[in-house]
Amino acid sequence: RRPDGDIGMEAAANEQADSNAKERRGVCTAICASLRRARTLVLILLVMQTSAIVLLMHYSRTRQAPPYLPSIAVALAEAAKLPTCLFMAAYAAGSFKGLLRLLQVQVLGEPMETLKCAVPAIAYTLQSNLLFVALTNLDPPTYQVVYQSKTIFTALFSLWMLSRRLVLSQWVALALLFFGTVFVSDTRTARSHAHANPLLGFFAVLSAAVLSSGSSVYFERMLKKRSTCTVPGAEAASLWIRNIQLGLFALPIAIIGVLATDLQHVQTHGMLHGFDALVWLVVLLNGVGGLLVAATMKYADNIVKCFAAALAIVFSTLLSVPLFHFSLQPVFVAGASCTVVASVLYARAPKCENGEAAYEPLPTAPQREQA
């Protein structure tokens, strides 16, 4: 027979183990609830930003007011992103001293890796300018639907650059996206105002979609490339460091674009001609968009991004009816429905294992010390 003392100690140990297990379950439940709240918040903010930027950009370009230069707006948005990314990288690295060390090792110490960021930087800058052209000549709902064709180009670039495979439901989604784009590509109904050129708008938005998808896949390849940096905080700050490398090229390229295309206008009317509170809000939302994408990569996933795009199409279409007197034609409803269903279907497709051994997942749990 075991002594009563041993039995009591064993019972106490079991009780303590049960208590620890309950505590761990409680912590896990709290973490899951926190992540769900973060995903919901990111989804809401992304839908609001995506819908608002499209409506405000279109209104700012078509209203009766002194016109502003889109190239200046793009350059100012890039100028706002760079210090923000520097601050976030310092926060991820734990201090500004850690940030300086990371910049010395990963930016200055790896010039060829930094130089590779020039490719997506050029594409992003051209894309930003093309979006202003598109929203000047197309109504917001048509723009939103056609711009979702970037999912098709993203899939094609992923097949080429990342050797990914698509499952059947994703191919069906791409077909639906194609038909959705064809349905809304009627230049007779897409005219947003009397002086609009819908054909130019379609060309601009499709070109922006190609540039956006190609640069995004290229940038994803760079982000997922295995890093050999051993500096503390390097993994947590990797997303922001890459964005800093992008900004080092994107800002000068945007400034060169201003000098090459609008220098005479700037000399005559000034750099901020036509800027008011609305235009500054457009600049701010363009800058915030990149940070929201980074937050999506950290707190959510591609499914949230696709759901946000689908919801943004719905909201911008509904708001365009009273704001811009947009007429909901049956063929547009069919095209928009195809696009929304395709976005959800593509996002919810099961993952296909393809042995991408050369890459590693993005850091999703940075140590403190991602638009």
Domain residue ranges in the chain: 15-348
- 225 forms bridges with which residues in the sheet? 359
Q: In this predicted structure, what is the pLDDT of residue 350?
A: 72
- Per-residue pLDDT at 9: 62
Binned at pLDDT 50, 70 and 90, residue 355 comes out as very low
Strand partners, 191: 138
Q: Is the pLDDT of residue 84 over 70?
A: yes
pLDDT in tens, 52-73: 999 999 999 988 888 899 999 9
User: What is the identity of the amino acid at 50?
Assistant: T
Mean pLDDT of the chain: 79
Indicate if the pLDDT at residue 149 is higher than 90. Answer: no
Residue 133: pLDDT above 90?
Answer: yes
Range 352-364 average pLDDT: 41
The larger pLDDT score, comparing residue 347 to residue 112, is at: 112
More confident residue, 43 or 84: 84
**3-class DSSP assignment, residue 1:** coil
Give the chain as a 3 state SS string.
CCCHHHHHHHHHHHHHHHHHHHHHHHHHHHHHHHHHHHHHHHHHHHHHHHHHHHHHHHHHHHCCCCCCCHHHHHHHHHHHHHHHHHHHHHHHHCCHHHHHHHHHHHHHCCHHHHHHCHHHHHHHHHHHHHHHHHHHHECHHHHHHHHCCHHHHHHHHHHHHCCCCCCHHHHHHHHHHHHHHHHHCCCCCCECCCCCCHHHHHHHHHHHHHHHHHHHHHHHHHHCECCCCCCCCCCCCHHHHHHHHHHHHHHHHHHHHHHHHHHHHHHHHCCCCCCCHHHHHHHHHHHHHHHHHHHHHHHCCHHHHHHHHHHHHHHHHHHHHHHHCCCCCHHHHHHHHHHHHHHHHHHCCCCCCCCCCCECCCCCCCCCCCC
Q: Which two tokens stand for residue 323?
A: 């704001």
pLDDT at 358: 39
pLDDT-based confidence at residue 357 (cuts at 50, 70, 90): very low
**Mean pLDDT over residues 117-140, rounded?**
90
**Are the CB atoms for 216 and 243 separated by under 8 Å?**
no
| Spatial CA neighbour of 197 closest among 149, 135, 148 | 135
CA distances from 344 to 293, 339, 341, 347 (A): 18, 9, 5, 5
Mean pLDDT value across residues 101-117: 86
Determine the pLDDT at residue 354.
Answer: 47
Given a cut of 60, whether residue 106 has pLDDT beyond it is yes
Instruction: Give residue-wise pLDDT tens across range 285-323.
Output: 888 776 676 666 566 555 667 677 778 888 888 888 888
Give percent above pLDDT 90 in the chain. Answer: 19
The more confident residue out of 237 and 30 is 237
Tokens found for residue 232: 């503390």
pLDDT at position 22 over 70 = no
**pLDDT on residue 369:** 36
- pLDDT at residue 216, as a whole number: 80
pTM: 0.78
Specify the range with the lowest mean pLDDT, choosing from 104-113, 154-163, 190-199, 250-259: 190-199
- CB neighbours of 229 closer than 8 A, spacing ≥ 6? 102, 105, 106
The predicted structure's pLDDT at residue 134: 92
- Residue 164: name the closest of 155, 172, 151 by CA: 155
pLDDT of residue 262: 92
Q: pLDDT tens-digit profile of 201-260?
A: 999 999 999 998 888 888 777 766 666 667 766 777 777 888 888 889 999 999 999 999
